[in-house]
Amino acid sequence: MENNDVNFNNRIDLEGLKQAVINIKSELGKTIIGQENFIDLLLVALLADGHVLIEGVPGVAKTITAKLLAKTIETNFSRIQFTPDLMPSDVLGTSVLNMKTSNFEFKKGPIFSNIVLIDEINRAPAKTQAALFEVMEERQITMDGITYKMNPPFIVLATQNPIEQEGTYALPEAQLDRFLFKIAVGYPSESEEVLILKTHQNRRGVLPQTTISTIIKEEELKQYKERIYEILVEEKLMNYIAQLITKTRNHPHLYLGGSPRASIAVLNASKAVAAINGRDFVIPEDIKKVIVPILRHRLILTPEREMEGLTTDKVIEMIVQSVEVPR
């Protein structure tokens, strides 16, 4: 059986992709201490072409990690700070009258980039949130009847603060569903905290972003993403994904379950996890690695369970334990 796997492994060349991921992690490791799972999931999202919602208290390196990841890839990067008075035109762009030609010309907004970091996404009102619907799903925006396509790669990394509720707006379910992952970034351990202090001390005032080198070019990223499509997923694993998602729809603790978009997200993300690990086929562990961050923002608990303090993460774990793992 082992020999078959070795031969099977040579079907797609994943060595370059695997090495690029190792190099990116080591580059980010110069500045970012701990947060391995966070970085892993960001890389999976990048390869699976998915947007990421990053939730954590202030100061746990949400923004800097997203910025530094963008710096390891040779692409355009833009950052938008969401505020309560931000208008859709501040994000998408606006038509401006050209005095020379007397025609209106479309001036592109900061969303026209490759990796877009939206800081404090829940600070902008519903009108501005809605402006992101089309661009996140279809990679295009329609303005004055004209459609503008985004240049690939296009990925939105959005941060939000879970505890500061004053002046924030809950994201609509339709928008949450457009995020591949919701990553919860926690505090570092005590030993990691010591390393953070040492790294800061040794940096001697040098800004973290100046120490990061570019690892992969845009064309290489495109090739790696194309390899993800070729990763094999056996039918029994597709059935496993379908079972997990279907269970969320008729679970007594849940008011809202996962949509077919969630199933496709699990499929794509688990293929990216397999590729990062140098495998051209998905195993159940790949699915288990991505299922919580894919579902945690898509499920809504029943009011009774929410009042009892149950979390969507806990319900997902219960569902995963209740479904038999294919072997």
Query: What is the model's pTM?
Result: 0.89
Residue 286 per-residue DSSP state: H
Q: Among 37-46, 200-209, 210-219, which is the least confidently predicted range? A: 200-209
Q: Cβ neighbours of residue 111 under 8 Å, at least 6 residues apart?
A: 78, 80, 91, 92, 93, 132, 135, 141, 150
Q: Is the pLDDT of residue 13 over 60?
A: yes
C-alpha torsion sign, points 88, 90, 93, 97: positive
Measured in degrees and rounded to the nearest 5, phi and psi for residue 296 equal: -60, -30
| Averaged pLDDT of the chain | 89
Q: Among 196-205, 233-242, 251-260, 265-274, which is the least confidently predicted range? A: 196-205
Q: How confident is the model at residue 20 (pLDDT cuts 50, 70, 90)?
A: very high
Determine the pLDDT at residue 4: 42
Percent of the chain with pLDDT over 70: 95
Residue 281 per-residue DSSP state: B
Task: Find the angle CA(90)-CA(69)-CA(29) to the nearest 5 degrees.
Answer: 145
CB–CB of 267/314 below 8 Å? Answer: no
Which residues lie across from 149 on neighbouring strands? Answer: 140
Determine the pLDDT at residue 12: 76
Q: How confident is the model at residue 200 (pLDDT cuts 50, 70, 90)?
A: confident
Task: For the beta carbon of residue 277, count every other beta carbon within 10 angstroms.
Answer: 14
Determine the pLDDT at residue 212: 85
pLDDT digits (tens, 9 = 90+) for 110-153: 999 999 999 999 998 888 988 899 999 999 998 888 899 999 88
Q: Where are the beta strands (DSSP E) in 137-225?
A: 140-143, 146-149, 155-160, 179-184, 216-217
Q: What is the mean pLDDT of residues 78-94?
A: 92
Which among 209, 109, 219 is positioned nearest to 153, based on CA atoms?
219
Q: What is the mean pLDDT of residues 240-269?
A: 95
pLDDT digits (tens, 9 = 90+) for 144-185: 888 999 998 899 999 998 766 666 788 888 889 999 999 999
Distance between CA 111 and CA 229 in Å, rounded? Answer: 27
Cis amide prior to 293 (ω within 30 degrees): no
Measured in degrees and rounded to the nearest 5, phi and psi for residue 285 equal: -60, -30
Determine the pLDDT at residue 163: 65
C-alpha pair distances (Å), 257 with each of 14, 143, 246, 281, 312: 35, 33, 8, 28, 10
Determine the pLDDT at residue 6: 44
Q: How confident is the model at residue 33 (pLDDT cuts 50, 70, 90)?
A: confident
Q: What is the mean pLDDT of residues 69-84?
A: 92
pLDDT digits (tens, 9 = 90+) for 291-322: 999 999 999 999 999 999 899 999 999 999 99
Q: How confident is the model at residue 82 (pLDDT cuts 50, 70, 90)?
A: very high
Task: Find the angle CA(176)-CA(177)-CA(179) to the nearest 5 degrees.
Answer: 70
Q: What is the mean pLDDT of residues 70-80?
A: 91
Q: Where are the beta strands (DSSP E) in the chain?
A: 51-55, 73-74, 77-81, 93-98, 103-108, 115-119, 140-143, 146-149, 155-160, 179-184, 216-217, 254-256, 300-301
Q: From its phi and psi, is residue 185 left (phi > 0), alpha (psi between -120 and 50) or beta?
A: beta
Kind plus residue range of the DSSP H or E element containing 115 = strand 115-119
